[in-house]
Amino acid sequence: MLSYRHAFHAGNHADVLKHFVQVQLHLYMNQKDAAYTYIDTHSGAGVYALDSFQATKTGEYDTGIGPLWNAVNVPEALKPYLDLVKAMNPSGKMRYYPGSPWVADQMSRSEDRLRLFELHPADVKILHENVRKAEAHKAEQGERSRGKRVIIEHGDGFQSLKKLLPPPSRRALVLVDPPYEVKDDYKKVRDALEDALGRFPSGMYAVWYPVLQRMESRQFPDKLKRLPAKEWLNVTLTVSTPGPDGLGLHSSGMFILNPPYTLEAMLRDTMPWLVQVLGKDAGARFTIETGTQVTGAVSARLAGEGPRVPVGNARRASPLSGKGSLRLPGQSMVREGEEDPRSVAKPAAPAPKTGARRVWRPDGSAQAKPQAPAEGRAPSKRPAAAAGAGGARPAAPRTGAPRSGGPRSGGKGGGNR
């Protein structure tokens, strides 16, 4: 399906989460001198005008970049992302918002390579034009790269991963962000990543996904946790309580395979502030989960008969959290000469949950609860932020208009476009 156009959703809360994390991934990759390849499976148009008909029809940027534009007391980790957005708006007026290709072009170095894929015929033409303008501007500034730095293809990014991995430099950052218009997109993402990890296990893979009521969305993170990556990190941002009809995008997530070791601590420091600024009601919150690959006896349990076991070595997002153990709760070590208790038939037990939950209260305190994902709730009081001629922005969230060849109300609201 090619009806999705990200111009209707550019700059919303899902874009803020995705591009903020993307900037951090580039900064981490840039710490080594060796070049790397950036692969964007669903690139979109690259740049979006927030005063366009599509953007103003839904006004979704008011759930994301809008409240951040003049915010004060911004966490250090968010500043590179906000600086990038403001750099493409030198007049000081918020008119343009970058897609992931623009973020990658600005954050990567001259020796790094960008491989961009887009299926929509109109968006791929706009992407070509935006990249041409960006390269011409860099040439005027005396910046030139050896060889073709950015290559754009009108094609399926899922299939293209197979021919690009492993990259010549043996370093890669891959962003996977389909529209999720159809249920098959969830399966395609998982299958593509499983194949990519088989070809290039050490690559860094970032996946954006919507948090919706549909079963495919709810089960998606657990399926990604079973992929053969050494480590994983899952962060979600919810800005409001979903309505009774389940329509609209209120929450989204970024799932990173082989994440930077610095990412978890940075998110713990930054996500509470994002929830404060972007949250619309008491349902605003964030979650952070981290874990390691399922190995050994646990892996065998997943493949064979028996009750469902925890996915990986999930742990709560806490400064005191340790690496834990792959041994299941209540499971004793098998000594030499003893029979493995797993070989003895036992009645099926309820499926245990992974990780631990951390609930952030309005007074700033936190309470850890076992056996649930790490969850954060921000204080209801927002930091001071200028909005136009002064005064706070309205707290009521905007909702997109019903889509007729344009934006959808229940599907993807913040793609990698």
Residues annotated as catalytic (active site), given as ranges: 177
171, 32 contact by CB (below 8 A): yes
Report the Cα–Cα distance between both ends of the chain, in Å, rounded.
16
In the DSSP assignment, the letter for residue 384 is: P
Name the 3-class secondary structure at 325.
Answer: coil
In the DSSP assignment, the letter for residue 328 is: P
82, 106 contact by CB (below 8 A): no
Rounded Cα distance between 98 and 117, Å, is: 16
In sign, the C-alpha dihedral spanning 158, 164, 170, 172 is negative
HEC profile of 199-218 = HCCCCEEEEEEECCCCHHHH
Residue type, 114: L
| 169 half-sphere exposure, CB direction, 13 A CA radius | 16
197, 231 contact by CB (below 8 A): no
Question: Helix, strand, coil shares of the chain as percentages rounded to 5?
Answer: 35, 15, 50
Neighbours of 343 (CB within 10 A): 6
CA 152 vs CA 108, 113, 119, 205: distances in Å: 16, 11, 11, 19
In the DSSP assignment, the letter for residue 385 is: B
